[in-house]
Amino acid sequence: MNQITWKGLLAGAVLLAGTGMAQAQEEIIFGISAANGSLQERTASEFARRANEKLGDLAVVKVFDSSQLGKDKDMMQKIKLGTMHLTLPSSTMPEVAAEYALFDLPFLIKDRGQLATIDETLFKDVLVPAAEAKGYRPLAIWENGFRQITNNSRPIETPADLEGLKIRTPNSSWRVAMFQAYGANPTPMSFSEVFVALQTGVIDGQENPLTNIEAGKLDEVQKFLSLTDHIYSPAFPTVGVNAFGKLDPKIQDVLAKTAQEVAVWAREQGEGEDDQLLQQLTDSGMQVNKADRQAFVDASAPLYEKFAAEVEGGQEMIDQVLSMAEQP
């Protein structure tokens, strides 16, 4: 009797220990607003794949796309509170720290090579510390892409063609200021709401990289695609400083290094897919035109003045990035 009882207790203890071991694997929750199939989602999935290979039994990264875990603002709050671990803000980062409005200066980023230089300098020296002061830590700069304008009214050749159009922007005061300068009626909303808003005529158009336009099926509810390249929009895999600091240092190291590693992969993917995505959207029936770049450059001067006046060290940042564009 005693022997049977002892064996039973021992078996139960082994089972409990095994269950405890299974539960000990940390789940790293990565929530993003981008749609399934977009480059942001595929980059997050590539990050998870690579990180999970390195983490082994330590932890597992799980990606939730298409705003399953909330809108950008909600997810930023969650990583700060520690109820999730990673999110991928893009155009909303200036609302965290004004220095990120650097990427809201039209035509400042010439190409992805220039972005790589920013990654090695301003990102580490200025942008990361600015976000950390607010409780967030971006781990890398990932690709979102060069932004284009779509609408249902007319081709956009110059800023004058935007006059009076309701154009969806991200929830960024800087992007709102940009489209006000162009004469549009900017309407901030989360990306998850854009398709229905376009379908029902609540808004006339929107602006996004080709990958988001295609993955969000916006070609089904938009007629005109105007190639403006007005903004290069990065995405920032971001953690909450306090919550991240509570993770096992080995997990922290893997996540940080893998985020940087995947940044190169994302830029290569983005550059390689631009022509293919444009062809897909053209084939779907969108009418494509190339906008007058100089007309938009001229209309963008107030944004540069605003950044230089309102952001500490703003003019120095502008000059530094412009000098990078001049390098061979």
294/43 Cα distance (integer angstroms): 33
* Confidence tier at 325 by pLDDT (50, 70, 90): confident
Average pLDDT over residues 101-108: 96
Tell me if 11 is assigned to some domain.
Answer: no
Q: What's the one-letter identity of residue 144? A: N
Neighbours of 229 (CB within 10 A): 18
Residue 292 carries which DSSP code? -
Q: For the chain, how many helices (H) and strands (E)?
A: 13, 12
Tell me if 6 is assigned to some domain.
Answer: no
- The per-residue pLDDT for range 40-58, each reduced to its tens digit, is 999 999 999 999 999 999 9
Tell me if 10 is assigned to some domain.
Answer: no
Percent of the chain with pLDDT over 70: 92
State the maximum Cα–Cα separation within the chain, in Å, rounded to a whole number.
Answer: 91
pLDDT at residue 10 is higher than 80: no
Tell me if 258 is assigned to some domain.
Answer: yes
- The per-residue pLDDT for range 16-35, each reduced to its tens digit, is 344 444 456 899 999 999 99
pLDDT at residue 4 is higher than 50: no
- Give the per-residue pLDDT at 8: 45
- The per-residue pLDDT for range 116-136, each reduced to its tens digit, is 899 999 999 999 999 999 999
* Two structure tokens written together for 7: 């064996």
Tell me if 242 is assigned to some domain.
Answer: yes
- Give the per-residue pLDDT at 21: 41
SS3 label, residue 173: helix
- Give the per-residue pLDDT at 68: 97
Q: Are 224 and 151 a contacting pair, CB within 8 Å?
A: yes
CATH of the domain at 68: 3.40.190.170
Residue 169 carries which DSSP code? E
- The per-residue pLDDT for range 67-94, each reduced to its tens digit, is 999 999 999 999 999 999 999 999 999 9
78/31 Cα distance (integer angstroms): 10
**Domains of the chain: total:** 1
- Give the per-residue pLDDT at 14: 39
pLDDT at residue 169 is higher than 60: yes
pLDDT at residue 11 is higher than 70: no
pTM for the whole structure: 0.89
- The per-residue pLDDT for range 232-290, each reduced to its tens digit, is 999 999 999 999 999 999 999 999 999 999 999 999 999 999 999 999 999 999 999 99
pLDDT at residue 228 is higher than 70: yes
SS3 label, residue 226: strand
SS3 label, residue 186: strand
Tell me if 4 is assigned to some domain.
Answer: no
- Give the per-residue pLDDT at 134: 97
Residue 106 carries which DSSP code? T
Tell me if 249 is assigned to some domain.
Answer: yes
Residue 231 carries which DSSP code? -
- Give the per-residue pLDDT at 115: 87
Torsion of CA 280, 284, 285, 288, to 10 degrees: -20
239/65 Cα distance (integer angstroms): 16
Question: Domain of 268?
Answer: 23-326
Q: What is the mean pLDDT of the chain?
A: 92
Q: Are 159 and 296 a contacting pair, CB within 8 Å?
A: yes
Tell me if 308 is assigned to some domain.
Answer: yes
57/313 Cα distance (integer angstroms): 45
Neighbours of 12 (CB within 10 A): 10
- Give the per-residue pLDDT at 209: 97
